[in-house]
Amino acid sequence: MKSLFRLLPYLSKYKTTLLVGLLTVIVTNLFTVASPWIIGDAIDELKRGIETRTLRHEDLMLYAGLIVGFALVAGIMLFLTRQTIIVVSRKIEYDLRNDFLAHIQKLPYSFFQNTPTGDLMALATNDISAVRNVLGPGIMYPADTLMTLSMSLVLMFIKDWQLTLLALIPMPVVSIAVYKLGQLIHEKFNQRQEQYAVLTTKAQENLSGARVVKAYVREEYEIEQFRKVSWEYFKKNLVLAKAQSVMWPLMFVLVGLSLLITIYVGGLKVIDGEMTIGTLTAFFTYLSLLIWPMIAFGWVTNMWQQGAASMTRLAKIFDTVPDIRDTEVTDYSIQNIKGEIEFRNVSFTHKGAQQKTLKNINLRIPNGTILAIVGYTGAGKSTLVNLIPRLYDVTEGQLLIDGVDIKKIPLEVLRCSIGYVPQETFLFSESIAENIRYGDDNANRELIYEAAEISQISKDVADFPQRFDTILGERGITLSGGQKQRTSIARAILRKPNILILDDALSAVDTHTESEILDRLRGVMKGRTSIIISHRISTVQHADMIIVLDKGEIVEQGTHEQLIEFGGIYAGLYEKQQLEKELEEL
């Protein structure tokens, strides 16, 4: 339950509306609990009127009018309760969901690598809904039923305190039963929720991996896998429903006991002339007013428990402090960076990994140079460049930019100065222009066209139905691998970065287009730093400096000519690729 306290700031934002809501609850109940009293009086009046033959038409109308009038006021107030408390809960749900996404956006890249997307989806949907229930019905019903309960009890005591006490005998049993059952439901709910996350992950992977599924004709297999997970979810839901369905009948039986006692004891009292029929009727009506609070109590307990469980899960994410962020060492006087990069004895180990991915990297990349990185797959090339925009932080050693420790540079300044084309390009389901503009919000059309020209995507775009306004991705056309890469490059150069990183970003581009792009890049990147990772020698041979990474270490370093001369891994790759080229040309 502690986790729910975190919602207080959200609630306090709407405290006036909530207070109005609670006020309407009080008024509703004043009018609701007055009704049985009037009914009781009416019956006694009627009886006396019939017995003494003095019953007047006006008296009847008065009582009927009162009952209807009171019900009307109570009804209107109830409507206002919903308009305030339930509406507030919806607003908080909205706030909470936005905060959740905003927080997730701040978390480091490694968080997303270690958290299944399905889990996050389940949190943003199901769990936030469960929390919303606590804030809406979870506040409205307890307030309402507490009022009904206390007001009814007071009036019942005034009418006949002995009978009230007798009628209340089964109530502690009700409370205990509700509590025990509530615990069970809580546990089952948790299990259901966990399964829901598994189901969501499965569905999400299936949809985004549709191409692989089809290519490997694994539809049947996937259907079967999904069916299994889905069946588990169904079973867990059923168990939960079973536990929940015991609740209601149990309530009715226990409350029924109270009614039984009232009829019996009250009936005897009426026969003995100690109580009027009207009072007994009023009593009975009060008891039936109490049925709902009893049931609501159980229901709300469930809701609160489910909400608390969900909030605990959400809190876990909210409490994940982004470990890569601006801290007290951040020097906000740094407003831009030039682009000299230096690795000083840098080592890096992935979270949870056994071995170092990078070992003792010592490297200085002067401002304005082009550095190329080659190396076998898995050598650590991507990991190395990921350290520069701080997608990961170095675990040992120091990374400096312009001679300043990278941790002192405000994160935004750092990242805004870097144009990064990741190995796996990602484009949004928007127009090509919008996808390129992602690099710089303020860029106008001219600049977008210019960037597209440099990355050589323009000529492809000319053939698309709506040119630059052609929608990509799930809602539009699918680009080829090379087109995607070139769009991503346009995005990166649009921001005129002081450091440009191309991680294997030309792998799907033919060698002719590639050299065209590289030529133009050399022009725009004059005086700025570029890092190009590639498996192709043709891409890297004109770089100012080339390093060869092997098993996380720099094993060779120099220009193309020096490395050929050296006769190591680089020279081997070169020879192999020359041979392949010659074979192709044959």
**Shortest distance (Å) from residue 142 CB to ligand ATP:** 46
Stretch that binds Mg ion, among 178-186, 421-429, 444-452, 517-525 (CB under 5 A): 421-429
C-alpha pair distances (Å), 87 with each of 8, 18, 76, 90? 17, 10, 16, 5
**Shortest distance (Å) from residue 580 CB to ligand ATP:** 18
Residue 380: contacted member of Mg ion, ligand ATP, none (CB under 5 to 8 Å, by partner type): ligand ATP
**Cα 45 from Cα 278, distance rounded (Å):** 8
**Shortest distance (Å) from residue 228 CB to ligand ATP:** 28
- Pick the closer one to ligand ATP by CB: 335 or 355: 355
**Shortest distance (Å) from residue 353 CB to ligand ATP:** 4
| Residue 483: exposure state from Cβ atoms within 10 A (0-12, 13-18, ≥19) | buried
- Pick the closer one to ligand ATP by CB: 298 or 375: 375
Task: Please state the φ and ψ torsions of residue 579, each to the nearest 5 degrees.
Answer: -65, -45
Answer for which of 382, 455, 456, 498 binds Mg ion (CB under 5 A) is 382
Which helix (H) or strand (E) segment holds residue 153: the answer is: helix 137-159
Residue 113: contacted member of ligand ATP, Mg ion, none (CB under 5 to 8 Å, by partner type): ligand ATP
- The token duo for 142 is 């307890």
Task: Please state the φ and ψ torsions of residue 478, each to the nearest 5 degrees.
Answer: -100, 130
- Pick the closer one to ligand ATP by CB: 222 or 556: 556
- Pick the closer one to ligand ATP by CB: 233 or 348: 348
Stretch that binds Mg ion, among 103-111, 284-292, 306-314, 376-384 (CB under 5 A): 376-384
- The token duo for 194 is 């966990």
- Pick the closer one to ligand ATP by CB: 376 or 566: 376
Residue 353: contacted member of Mg ion, ligand ATP, none (CB under 5 to 8 Å, by partner type): ligand ATP
| Residue 383 binds Mg ion, judged by CB under 5 A | no
Question: By beta-carbon distance, which residue lies closest to Mg ion?
Answer: 382
The residue ranges that bind ligand ATP (CB under 6 A) are 113, 350, 353, 357, 375, 377-383, 423, 504
Asked if 280 contacts 163 with a C-beta cutoff of 8 angstroms, the reply is no
Residue 357: contacted member of Mg ion, ligand ATP, none (CB under 5 to 8 Å, by partner type): ligand ATP
Residue among 134, 152, 135 at smallest CA distance from 37: 152
| Residue 357 binds Mg ion, judged by CB under 5 A | no
Strands 358-365, 499-503: pairing kind: unpaired
Residue 442: contacted member of ligand ATP, Mg ion, none (CB under 5 to 8 Å, by partner type): none
C-alpha pair distances (Å), 144 with each of 133, 229, 414? 15, 40, 54
Residue 350: contacted member of ligand ATP, Mg ion, none (CB under 5 to 8 Å, by partner type): ligand ATP
Stretch that binds Mg ion, among 381-389, 436-444, 550-558, 573-581 (CB under 5 A): 381-389
**Cα 457 from Cα 427, distance rounded (Å):** 14
C-alpha 462 chain-centroid distance: 39
Asked if 21 contacts 90 with a C-beta cutoff of 8 angstroms, the reply is no
**Shortest distance (Å) from residue 422 CB to Mg ion:** 9
- Pick the closer one to ligand ATP by CB: 110 or 230: 110
**Cα 324 from Cα 108, distance rounded (Å):** 6
**Shortest distance (Å) from residue 470 CB to ligand ATP:** 30
- The token duo for 574 is 């070169």
- Pick the closer one to ligand ATP by CB: 42 or 361: 361
DSSP 398: E
| Residue 172: exposure state from Cβ atoms within 10 A (0-12, 13-18, ≥19) | exposed
Total residues contacting Mg ion by CB under 5 A comes to 2
**Shortest distance (Å) from residue 378 CB to ligand ATP:** 4
| Residue 423 binds Mg ion, judged by CB under 5 A | yes
| Residue 237 binds Mg ion, judged by CB under 5 A | no
- Pick the closer one to ligand ATP by CB: 314 or 506: 506
**Shortest distance (Å) from residue 296 CB to Mg ion:** 58
DSSP 477: B
- Pick the closer one to ligand ATP by CB: 460 or 553: 553
- The token duo for 347 is 């080592």
- Pick the closer one to Mg ion by CB: 301 or 382: 382
- Pick the closer one to Mg ion by CB: 133 or 382: 382
Beta-bridge mates of residue 405: 400
**Shortest distance (Å) from residue 502 CB to ligand ATP:** 12
**Shortest distance (Å) from residue 497 CB to Mg ion:** 20
- The token duo for 94 is 């909205």
Q: Which residues of 396-414 are buried (b: 16+ CB within 10 A; e: fewer)?
A: ebebbbbeeebbbbebebb
Window 286-325: residues binding Mg ion (CB under 5 A): none
DSSP 471: B
C-alpha pair distances (Å), 378 with each of 210, 338, 382, 383? 26, 30, 9, 9
**Shortest distance (Å) from residue 577 CB to ligand ATP:** 15
- Pick the closer one to ligand ATP by CB: 192 or 359: 359
In the block, tokens 């009804």 appear at 75
- Pick the closer one to ligand ATP by CB: 382 or 529: 382
Residue 496: contacted member of Mg ion, ligand ATP, none (CB under 5 to 8 Å, by partner type): none
**Shortest distance (Å) from residue 388 CB to Mg ion:** 14
Residue 29: contacted member of Mg ion, ligand ATP, none (CB under 5 to 8 Å, by partner type): none
**Cα 457 from Cα 463, distance rounded (Å):** 11
CA atoms within 13 A on the CB side of 376: 8
**Cα 308 from Cα 7, distance rounded (Å):** 11
SS3 339: coil
**Shortest distance (Å) from residue 376 CB to Mg ion:** 11
Stretch that binds Mg ion, among 265-273, 306-314, 420-428, 563-571 (CB under 5 A): 420-428
Task: Please state the φ and ψ torsions of residue 497, each to the nearest 5 degrees.
Answer: -75, 150
379 C-beta neighbours (distance < 10 Å), count: 22
Q: Which residues bind Mg ion (CB under 5 A)?
A: 382, 423
